[in-house]
Amino acid sequence: MIFRRLREYCIFLRSLFHTTTRLLWGMWKLTKVPHPAITVFGGARTPLEGKHAAMARELTKILAADGFSIITGGGPGIMEAANQGAMDYLKEARIKETVHKKKAISAGVGLIHLNKERVNPYVQESVIMDHFFARKWLLVRYSVGFVLFPGGFGTMDELFEVVTLVQCNRMSSVPIILVDKQYWGPIIEWIEQRALPAGLISKEDTTIITAVDTVQEAVDVLRHWCTEVECSVFFSGNAKKD
């Protein structure tokens, strides 16, 4: 009995050491990405020729020009489009011979064997993790705002993970922007017409999320918030993140 328990304990320690090592490596890689940074979530199955992918490219191109780095899950779909927008800005900046001191502004935090996902070609700094919790921790840790495009179960998981961190004061209040009100409408309706009247959340909790329909609306929210809070100061230590 005792030997079986010791064996399981040793297996766990080995796994813990491996996961911790990957996390430390991921942190090291992401600290190379200039801050502030915005994390973009969205469906891996979103076609690159579609409306939402085009919006993601436009949004991240504008944000990159504003001085934000872009972090995604590093895969296809919305993630690829978001990383591509940041790289499009860099290419145009070089063509125009403008001075750009940042070495990398496009990062991806992927997961091993996630539906045979590939790292998209627009990621400059790539981190591959073994576990969802470690991946999400890195995606959240270095961001001062989150933009979510339509997606499936994974995107929903990421949305409510971040919302819960803010609600429970495990992370300072940050912009959490949902793009496409029609798609996210049932979620907003559930929050405002189900959870709130049932007393399961507070009125303040309903303000954590902002739904928009256009790229410009999303940009305006992020610009306003960073102007008010000073994103560089936020990242330097005023944020409380787990």
**pLDDT at site 238:** 39
**pLDDT at site 202:** 93
Q: How far apart are CA 123 and CA 69, in angstroms?
A: 11
CB 33 within 8 A of CB 107: yes
pLDDT in tens, 192-209: 999 999 999 999 999 999
Q: Give the list of residues 6+ apart from residue 236 with CB closer than 8 angstroms, or none.
A: none
**pLDDT at site 4:** 80
**pLDDT at site 230:** 60
Domain of 109, in residue numbers: 2-238
CATH of the domain at 190: 3.40.50.450
pLDDT in tens, 115-135: 556 789 999 988 888 888 888
CB 44 within 8 A of CB 155: no
CB 122 within 8 A of CB 83: yes
Report the number of distinct structural domains present in the chain: 1
